[in-house]
A and B are shown apart, each in its own frame.
Chain A
Amino acid sequence: MDPERHRRISELFLQACELAPEARGPFLDEACAEDPELRVEVESLLAQEGDASRVLAGIDPGQGASAAAEALHPSQLPTLPGASAERSLPAGPLPRPFGRFRLLRLIGRGGMGEVYEAEDTQLVRRVALKTLLAAEGRADSAARFLQEARIAGTLDHPNVVPVYDYGIVDGTAYYTMPLVDGHSLEELIPFLHRRAQGAPPLFLEIPESWSDRVGLVLDWFAGALDGLEHAHEKGIVHRDVKPSNLILDSHDRRLRLADFGLARAPHLSGLTRAGSMMGTVAYMAPEQVRSDSGRIDSRTDVYSMGVTLYRTLLDRLPYEADTTAAYLNRIIAAQPDDPGRRGPGLPRDLVTILLKCMEKVPGHRYATAGALAADIRRFRRYEPIAARPVGIAGRLARWTRRRPAVAALAAGLMVAALVLGALARVNLRASAILRGQEIETSLRLANYALARKDHVDALARFGRAIELDPRSLDGRMGRAVVAVAQLAGDDPSANPRAALNDLDVAASIEPDLVSVHVLRGRLLAELGDPAGGAREREQAAQLEPRVALDFRLLGDTARAEGDCRAAIASYDRALADDPRLSLAALGRGVCYRALGDLPRAERDAAVASHLVPEDAHPHINLGNVLAAQGKFDEAFREYERALEIEPATALYHFNYGESLRASGDLDTAEARFRRALELDPRLAKAHNNLGYVLAETERLEDAVAAFRAAIAIEDGKATGKNPADYLVAYTGLCDVAVRARDLGQARESCGKALELAPEDPDGHYNLAALRMLEGDLDAALDSLRRDVDLGDRDFDYLLADSTFDPLHGDGRFQALVERMRTPNAD
């Protein structure tokens, strides 16, 4: 599954939701005509949607849901080609004769053959009869099959389902086994985890307590491993250990290993089709996945037993993957999911046992099934297990590292205690194994002291832990936390320099701990080194796995506060971490445009609209930045796209209209502003800019009404009045009044505008025009000078403005125009 596909599924799901239930089928028929899997995905979501009511009514959702919604329990993990059910034996009606047997009932069908309940008419007993599928019935397959049967027939162990006899009937190879009255582990797992429907099999008493259930499972497995060890001693590798091949016998309640159908003695490996992968995917060992047949031995079965035990105890598989291919990849490359991650949890030693079984390298696993059985029995007797593998500390460290980093330690004491707890977990595990109880006890008491703010006691106990183990991560981190807490409380006995040393040691033990950097940052800041503090904070942030989002939020905050440079810095960090973070690109683009860096703004807006084409915002912003560069046609296309996505957003029509106005298309601009006002009559900006269009087309009275409407809207707001909207409205009114020669109106509105923005050149320009109307040419020149001082360089406009015609002969006026012609006078 990839994001693009998920996007498509989301889209179809949302569209289908809009339709009546009976219309959804035809819609999906068409939309997914060439992609039936897509349809399955969408339907599984749709099935979920209507599910709530059924669950509330007490009906199990799994039963009624479509086949698509099912299919995902680990037991349903897809198997590789070869398990196809189509290649069945040409079957007559049952019962039917088969040599000296009568086939009574089809029990199961697997990748290699079919299993029947049959009657042996000579010996008058019921047997399980396994055939080799016809399509596989080539000479080498049959020969191999019979070899297997012969070898399996040599097995004699109470935990192994034996082979009675074997042969060929009408070209079909077969062998027979006793019919075991019982259930496979696959069937029992749901009962063990209390998620099965109905009552458990009568013979099975499932203990109430979780630990008793674990004990029961372990006893079963110890027995089955004895059987496996027996096979291994005879040189037989099962190769297909999995829950469905382990049968709990209802009579003696032994777990019996069945179906050595894939088993091969090593010296027969020549008969195996080269490179074929025939195991069941989920339980395959890495060497099987690689088809590394030279390395397949008893330790391969140990691996599969480990996975089977993992699944039985935890009701899930050790890896998570959407597809078979992905799962295979995990088997080779990924660490098993931490068994302690969720669910009822497992004792540490049991986790150790599981991990040793599932080591990637066969040499790191238990060498034999017997060794594994022995360790399980030791565990059951509460004795120390033999698996004290070199790898365990490393593994724990690996799991620890995969946890979201413990970040941002606080000075608050409870906070510190919590964090320490999290850190302590790792080391408490290791120290319990390696260095006895005392360190653990010291650390626990130290944390307790820290929690009740007894800094002296906490320091002493952390110190004791360090004394026992100078490389105690918890001890070192703990002392540093105490120091930070003391500094926060202005405790003069705080020793930040010693704490810094502790942190150095901690960093040498476990590099890349966010907490180390956060604590060091605080200490440095306290010691008067703010730069060092900032540096450490930065390092902490860089270690934080989800740093991108945090920085994006910081960027948004800075932008909202009007600090665009700080915002850009934050967005930079966010994008460096995750270049696909569309919202950071969007925000940075807005900042660049605000700072006038249009090329960068355009690039960011384009990136954002590429990343989230279904979102309207990037199109709007891209349109804005294109329009600001005079690329109107491109801009209009972006606005159109945005309006396709969100046709009813007034602000988008406003932007479109304003760009149209800037391009000189006043008629269309006016229509856009009016559309915006239909959608949101209180959008003051749209009133204002409509006013400008009206003024430019000489409809002065309508323009005045538009500006007045904007002012009324702002006046009506209890909070959040927008000074910019007022300013534009009053400036517009002033301009219109001057043109209409309405001196009273002009004095009032020009005055208001200058009051709002004393530094706005437009206000002074308008005031100059007003002075001209009043006949005060000197005052007009003063105001014009102020306008030019403030940066107005539009001399064309000034020279074309007939209001100032009387000044054209004035040397002072000519000097001002000269200044305006000089670029960048300021």
Chain B
Amino acid sequence: MPEPLQDATHCASKCAEGDPAAASQLLPLVYDELRGLAAAYMRQERPGHSLQATDLVHEAYLRLVDITRIDWRGRSHFLAMAARQMRRILVEHARERQAKKRGGDPLRVTLSEAVAVTSGPEPDVLDLHEALERLSRLSSRQSEVATLRFFGGLTDKEVGCALGISERTVRQDWKVARTWLARELRRTGPS
């Protein structure tokens, strides 16, 4: 028998000894872990320091691999989920912070590549979030690609694997998304 047809998914690696049930545990774990890490960061937050979103995502990955002893073959999937949760956590936190009006500077967050998009200081998390929401209504895939790059620091390859699209498509989506977002952030940004 010759080799069978290969469906195009880019993530075909089977996890021989992985526990399929682990997948259903995945989301809450990722969320909990990230919130915990973010909270720990915020507790010891000092002026002038900036929360490194991508670092938190990768730290969560390492910790969960360690804690759960799950063989996360789907590293890209993990990072993708984590990136999305990171976005949610940061947005919630930013809103909460605004509502409380604690004064002082808003929480400073460093997002992977966000500076490259705006060519200026880090954009406001909420501005970016809203711009991404608007983009997702036009192209959910472009918006997703940008989210994974900003909040999870995924590479082209990892983004492609997580979203099931080719690296070439990722590169194109990213190019359009970053330009589109740069324009949006200019339009809406206060400065």
Complex contact B119–A724 (CB within 8 A)? no
**Interface membership of B65, Cβ < 8 A:** no
Task: Point out the residue from B96, B116, B175 that lies within 8 Å of A17, measured CB to CB.
Answer: B175
**Interface membership of A649, Cβ < 8 A:** yes
**Interface membership of A1, Cβ < 8 A:** yes
Q: How far is the CB of A255 from chain B (nearest CB, A)?
A: 23
Complex contact A62–B162 (CB within 8 A)? no
A825 CA to B4 CA in the complex, in Å? 25
Complex contact A48–B126 (CB within 8 A)? no
Centre residue among B20, B43, B127, B137 by max chain A CB count within 10 A = B20
A421 CA to B102 CA in the complex, in Å? 13
Given contacts A557-B74, A566-B23, A586-B164, contact A49 B179 (CB under 8 A): yes
Complex contact B98–A418 (CB within 8 A)? no
Given contacts A51-B119, A406-B92, A422-B92, contact A61 B15 (CB under 8 A): no
Complex contact B186–A61 (CB within 8 A)? yes
**Interface membership of A415, Cβ < 8 A:** yes
Contact flags B15-35 to A (C-beta < 8 A → 1, else 0): 110101011101110011001
Q: How far is the CB of B173 from chain A (nearest CB, A)?
A: 8
Q: List chain B residues, Cβ under 8 A from A1.
A: 138
By beta carbon, the residue of chain B nearest A193 is B190
**Interface membership of B124, Cβ < 8 A:** yes
**Interface membership of B172, Cβ < 8 A:** yes
Q: List chain B residues, Cβ under 8 A from A652.
A: 8
Which of A107-115, A168-176, A615-623, A775-783 lines the interface with chain B? A615-623
Q: List chain B residues, Cβ under 8 A from A3.
A: 137-139
Complex contact B15–A560 (CB within 8 A)? yes
**Interface membership of B110, Cβ < 8 A:** no
Complex contact A414–B164 (CB within 8 A)? no
Complex contact B18–A561 (CB within 8 A)? yes
**Interface membership of B144, Cβ < 8 A:** yes
Complex contact A340–B182 (CB within 8 A)? no
Q: List chain A residues, Cβ under 8 A from B96.
A: 421-422, 425
Which of B45-53, B55-63, B76-84, B149-157 lines the interface with chain A? B76-84
Which of A299-307, A548-556, A812-820 lines the interface with chain B? A548-556
Contact flags A731-755 to B (C-beta < 8 A → 1, else 0): 1100000000000000000000000
Q: List chain A residues, Cβ under 8 A from B92.
A: 403-404, 406, 422
Q: List chain B residues, Cβ under 8 A from A392.
A: none
Complex contact A562–B15 (CB within 8 A)? yes
A582 CA to B124 CA in the complex, in Å? 30
Given contacts A646-B166, A728-B1, contact A553 B80 (CB under 8 A): yes
**Interface membership of A808, Cβ < 8 A:** no
Given contacts A404-B92, A728-B1, contact A410 B36 (CB under 8 A): yes
**Interface membership of B69, Cβ < 8 A:** no
Given contacts A557-B23, A586-B164, contact A410 B6 (CB under 8 A): no
Q: How far is the CB of A621 from chain B (nearest CB, A)?
A: 5
Which of A129-137, A159-167, A468-476, A684-692 lines the interface with chain B? A684-692
A659 CA to B1 CA in the complex, in Å? 14
**Interface membership of B11, Cβ < 8 A:** yes
Q: Which of A152-199 contact B (CB under 8 A)?
A: 193-195
Complex contact A52–B6 (CB within 8 A)? no
Contact flags A597-626 to B (C-beta < 8 A → 1, else 0): 000000000000000101111001100100
Q: How far is the CB of A572 from chain B (nearest CB, A)?
A: 14
Q: How far is the CB of A190 from chain B (nearest CB, A)?
A: 10
Q: List chain B residues, Cβ under 8 A from A381.
A: none
Q: Which of A654-695 contact B (CB under 8 A)?
A: 654-655, 658-659, 661, 685, 688-689, 692
Complex contact B137–A414 (CB within 8 A)? no
Give the tally of cross-chain contacts (CB within 8 A): 234
Centre residue among A408, A621, A688 by max chain B CB count within 10 A = A408
Q: List chain B residues, Cβ under 8 A from A406.
A: 92
A617 CA to B74 CA in the complex, in Å? 19
Task: Point out the residue from B5, B31, B120, B166 that lies within 8 Å of A658, measured CB to CB.
Answer: B5
Contact flags B178-191 to A (C-beta < 8 A → 1, else 0): 01101100111011
Contact flags B76-117 to A (C-beta < 8 A → 1, else 0): 010011001000100111011011110000000000000010
Given contacts A628-B5, A655-B6, contact A414 B172 (CB under 8 A): no
Complex contact A617–B166 (CB within 8 A)? yes
By beta carbon, the residue of chain A nearest B189 is A195
Q: How far is the CB of A773 from chain B (nearest CB, A)?
A: 21
By beta carbon, the residue of chain A nearest B183 is A48
Centre residue among B2, B98, B176 by max chain A CB count within 10 A = B2
Q: How far is the CB of A594 from chain B (nearest CB, A)?
A: 8
**Interface membership of A651, Cβ < 8 A:** yes
Contact flags A634-657 to B (C-beta < 8 A → 1, else 0): 000000001000100101101100
By beta carbon, the residue of chain A nearest B77 is A557
Complex contact A561–B73 (CB within 8 A)? yes
Contact flags A49-78 to B (C-beta < 8 A → 1, else 0): 101100110000110000001001100000
Q: List chain A residues, Cβ under 8 A from B146.
A: none
Which of A22-30, A82-90, A341-349 lines the interface with chain B? A341-349
**Interface membership of A259, Cβ < 8 A:** no
Task: Point out the residue from A6, A410, A583 that lies within 8 Å of B138, measured CB to CB.
Answer: A6
By beta carbon, the residue of chain B nearest A720 is B13
Complex contact B182–A617 (CB within 8 A)? no
Q: List chain A residues, Cβ under 8 A from B13.
A: 560, 720
Complex contact B182–A51 (CB within 8 A)? yes
Given contacts A560-B15, A661-B2, contact A343 B190 (CB under 8 A): yes
Complex contact A560–B77 (CB within 8 A)? yes
Complex contact A728–B139 (CB within 8 A)? no
A263 CA to B43 CA in the complex, in Å? 57
Contact flags B131-168 to A (C-beta < 8 A → 1, else 0): 00010011111101000000000000000001111101
- Given A14-B175, A45-B179, output 19 extra A-B contacts at Cβ < 8 Å: A1-B138, A48-B186, A55-B120, A69-B186, A194-B191, A315-B190, A341-B95, A407-B88, A414-B35, A425-B99, A537-B28, A554-B23, A580-B140, A594-B7, A615-B169, A651-B6, A651-B8, A731-B1, A732-B2
> 5 A–B contact pairs at CB < 8 A?
A193-B190, A345-B101, A546-B84, A561-B73, A583-B165
- The 7 A-B residue pairs whose C-beta atoms are closest, nearest first, are A410-B32, A6-B138, A414-B39, A563-B20, A52-B119, A617-B8, A561-B15
